[in-house]
Structure 1
Amino acid sequence: MTLNTETLASSDGAEAVIPDPRILLYPRLRKSPFFWASRRHGVAMYSVYNHTYHPRHYGDPVAEYWALLQGVTLWDVGVERQIEITGPDAFAFTNMLVPRDLNKCEVGQCKYVFLTAEDGGILNDPVLLRLGQNHFWLSLADSDILLWARGLAHNSGMDVTIEEADVGPVQVQGPLSGKVMAAIFGPEVLDIGYYRLREYTLDGMEVIVSRTGYTAELGFEIYVKNASREGVRLWDTVWAAGEPFGMKVIGPCHMRRIEAGILAHGCDITYQTNPFEVGMGYDWMVDLNQEADFIGKDALRRIKQEGVTRRLAGVTIGGPALGTFNDGSMIEAFPVWRSGHRVGEVTSACFSPRLERNIGYAMVPVGLSETGTELEIETPSGAVPAVVVPKPFVDPTKNIPKQSFDAGNGHLLTGT
């Protein structure tokens, strides 16, 4: 009952392991439209996401966490590739991809969606943006949905065009994000509702602004068109507007997304995970009563009828403080044990600075997913006790990102 261990170089000739190996920068891997701009701020660690270099942090993930909670932050999320679906049958085709009923998605609205396979597994969990009656973007998590969508369209008889748009998003997140956005776009940008979007022309750049983000904090995303040409210019424009408000450039803050119950594709959900196993109210993302015959509908109907055998549970974890998840401290999933038997695994975990305890998500049998269930989790420091707790850990009704503004001064209107 031990995790894989690594041996550092020692005088007795043990095998040498470099605990923090570099990542190779070279032409084969893609670079986001903001690669050279974000690099100027001192990227300390990259990963590869959608075949693209992605800044994970800039030296101190804990300081980045507090900057997000207390101020305003700028993120290079150009790795979120935009799959553009257009053509006379674009609505019907896109509605076939996702279990949500897109008849309930207006033009100018965004939806968090799952893309499911024929067996009900989750292939991706993008934010969908509806730009027109037959015009959609899928802002992707990490998987090759462009190939999947094109494969489905081939010989489908549908008149659709599926391309990767030359579009790149940045995120502006944190309680002061509204002030920065108002400084860039004017106070009317604060009227954009939660999960809504609006188009702008900014100094000749065509952009789309949405009230979305990967934080469950107040925030926006700015999608710039012609990103291969305009990406650095947009970045510099946002940075210049944000500096007076103390803006910090950070990577994706996994401590905050774990607190908020935001899932990470490839960790908490994969193509081997179905929506009913996820919990946290995501059942509503599967509309089995809609007329459309979306991919995976029959399988998901059967799964719902039969019930699932496992569920993603929230856990508090004992022992020494875990890392920040994006610092290389969780190389593999942590085994979960009960009465001497391995029963599941922790898919994401970190130490929450605000809650001052280790928290995470564990995929375990349904019978062990009830609040108060005691488990044992194998962390890098050894086996430690854990307890199943309600999730999300912070702001379960998402009141923080849904807050409204006073457009006259950019201040938040509390209690909304």
Structure 2
Amino acid sequence: PKSRDILRAAFGDAPAELAYYRFMEYDWNGVPLIISRTGWSSELGYEIFLRDGSKGDALWEHLMAVGGPMGLHPGHTSSIRRIEAAMLSYHADMTLENNPFELGMDRLVDLDMAADFVSKAALKRIKAAGVSQYQVGITIDGPPITGSNDENWPVLSNDTIVGKITSAVHSPRLGKNIALALVAADHAATGTMVSIDMAGDLRQAEIVPKPFFDPKKTLAAKG
């Protein structure tokens, strides 16, 4: 929540006032940076790309010096925030075997454009035939999940496997267990009840809309 204040203290007003999904080149005392208002969460955030690797230590120390008084600490990317925002992680939630139609990204594909592009013909065939599975959001009953899933938990309907959990976590903000899953198309409708086999711990679950939090991206877009 203090990312804008920290960025302003580190680099001034211009980077801090970047619009959502915009970036700029920035000269920090002769060190070339690219600063973008993007991130791997549903929060207001920024990413800093260093174009001179030899200055990495200096950049780190500068950020920690200005951010420390505001509570900045080193840390890992937050899986909780990512899953709340339904941001897909490559290799976890999707691979090269998946296509944009089953991942809910068909809005990014223009099959009617005149120009050709890689996989255009294949995507036309897939769209015409329809997909067999969809990436969905799921809430899981029971006590809080401890940590994240290290394997793909089976999604079941009447003891039949109909999909797999790709990412799961407990969200303290929402007070529930949330997950992303690939589920058979005929079981992917919102409100569908399923079961999750969490390494022998069978839990009831429900297909729900995603993202789980701030669907209009108010925090990320407006700050």
Aligned to 1:386: 205
Kindly indicate whether residue 49 of structure 2 is the aligned counterpart of residue 230 of structure 1.
no
Check whether the contact 2:42–2:84 (CA below 8 A) recurs between aligned residues. no
Aligned to 1:337: 156
Kindly indicate whether residue 38 of structure 2 is the aligned counterpart of residue 221 of structure 1.
no
Give the ranges of 4+ consecutive aligned residues of structure 1 lying more than 4 Å apart after TM superposition: none
1:274 & 1:289 partners in 2: Cα distance?
A: 17
Aligned to 1:263: 88
1:357 & 1:221 partners in 2: Cα distance?
A: 29
Secondary structure class of the residue paired with 2:221:
coil
Gaps in structure 1 of 5+ consecutive residues: 1-174, 405-416
1:284 & 1:268 partners in 2: Cα distance?
A: 19
List per-residue Cα deviations over 1:118-139 (Å, max 9, x = no partner).
xxxxxxxxxxxxxxxxxxxxxx
Aligned to 2:196: 377
Aligned to 1:87: none
Kindly indicate whether residue 19 of structure 2 is the aligned counterpart of residue 193 of structure 1.
yes
Measured after TM superposition, the shift of residue 291 of structure 1 is 2.6
Percent of aligned positions that are identical:
40
Check whether the contact 1:349–1:358 (CA below 8 A) recurs between aligned residues. yes
1:241 & 1:235 partners in 2: Cα distance?
A: 10
2:28 & 2:169 partners in 1: Cα distance?
A: 39
Structure 1 residues 354 and 376, CA gap change in structure 2 (3 angstroms): same
Gaps in structure 2 of 5+ consecutive residues: none
List per-residue Cα deviations over 1:303-327 (Å, max 9, x = no partner).
11221111011111123321232xx
Structure 2 letter corresponding to 1:262: M
Q: 1:308 aligns with which of 127, 131, 136?
A: 131
Aligned to 2:147: 324
Check whether the contact 1:321–1:357 (CA below 8 A) recurs between aligned residues. yes
1:315 & 1:307 partners in 2: Cα distance?
A: 22
2:92 & 2:10 partners in 1: Cα distance?
A: 36
Aligned to 1:242: 67
Measured after TM superposition, the shift of residue 381 of structure 1 is 5.4
1:274 & 1:357 partners in 2: Cα distance?
A: 29
Please, what TM-score do these two structures have when normalized by structure 1? 0.52
Kindly indicate whether residue 10 of structure 2 is the aligned counterpart of residue 178 of structure 1.
no
Aligned to 2:99: 274
Aligned to 1:113: none
Check whether the contact 1:254–1:324 (CA below 8 A) recurs between aligned residues. no
Aligned to 2:179: 360
Count of aligned positions: 223
Higher-Rg structure is 1
Check whether the contact 1:275–1:283 (CA below 8 A) recurs between aligned residues. yes
1:349 & 1:213 partners in 2: Cα distance?
A: 20
1:310 & 1:381 partners in 2: Cα distance?
A: 24
Please, what TM-score do these two structures have when normalized by structure 2? 0.96
List per-residue Cα deviations over 1:160-205 (Å, max 9, x = no partner).
xxxxxxxxxxxxxxx1111111111111223311111111111221
Please give the residue correspondences for 1:106-117 in structure 2 after superposition, counting only pairs within 5 Å. Answer: none
